[in-house]
Amino acid sequence: MNNDILKTLYSEQDIENACKRLGDQITTDYQGKNPIVIGVLKGAIFFMTDLVRDIDLYMDIDFIDVSSYHGGTHSSGSIELMKDIDIDVKGRNILFVEDIIDTGRTLKYLEDLLEDRGAKSIKVCTLMDKPEGRVVEAKADYVGLEVPNEFVVGYGLDYVGKYRNLPYVGVLKPEVYSDK
Ligand code: PRP
Ligand code: MN
Ligand code: MG
């Protein structure tokens, strides 16, 4: 698997540093707010589990599963809700945790969904932001790392379902796309 990687974009240490920095900031900003921290499956699983352990607050944790890429390299444009959250969000402070914001469609969908359900506040923490990829307006409140307009894998991000378990973030060799 590691052999399919052309270059490392962010190392395990880079990711750890970003988690610590964001965790400290969120700890400060959410004092007394008892947030619901919602991880967006599947890409955000690793970031979610690392980030919340760097936040020193009482919180509820939940997960939502939406999919738009259906495993490929391009956003399909249509978002599907695969698994909903369990907790009632009415009047609550919500913090979404994402691995990456690219076109912005997923985030827009999630924000609209919880706004309709009466959340008190909705913010977003993303490990990676790809500003050049935006198709709809979407902005993260907390950003760990910026990525260039390249398709990246690892630390939760997949290509046809694979590479999520790489501990770092990298770019695939071009031949991987045509062969598999
Ligand atoms: C990826 C990624 C983000 C979203 C970002 O998820 O994990 O959730 O796309 O892209 P966008 O800003 O263009 O909407 P994906 O739909 O591939 O599902 P996954 O997390 O299960 O891989
Ligand atoms: Mn995702
Ligand atoms: Mg994906």
User: How does residue 71 score in pLDDT terms, banded at 50, 70 and 90?
Assistant: low
User: How does residue 73 score in pLDDT terms, banded at 50, 70 and 90?
Assistant: confident
Per the residue annotation, which of 50, 102, 129, 158 is the catalytic one? 102
Specify if 154 maps to a domain: no
Specify if 174 maps to a domain: no
Confidence check on the interface: ipTM exceeds 0.90, yes or no:
yes
Question: What domain range is 39 assigned to?
Answer: 11-149
- Residue 98: which CATH number? 3.40.50.2020
Q: Which residues lie below 8 Å from residue 134, measured CB to CB, with a gap of 6+?
A: 102, 103, 104
Convert the pLDDT of each residue in 28-50 to its tens digit. Answer: 999 999 999 999 999 999 999 99
User: How close is the Cα of 136 to the center of ligand 1, in Å?
Assistant: 14
Specify if 177 maps to a domain: no
Specify if 180 maps to a domain: no
Specify if 162 maps to a domain: no
CA gap 6, 170 in Å, rounded? 7
Is position 60 annotated as part of the catalytic site? Answer: no
Query: Which string of DSSP letters, residue by residue, matches 2-18?
Result: GGGEEEEEE-HHHHHHH
Specify if 72 maps to a domain: yes
Indicate the number of domains in the chain: 1
Q: Is the pLDDT of residue 109 over 60?
A: yes
Specify if 100 maps to a domain: yes
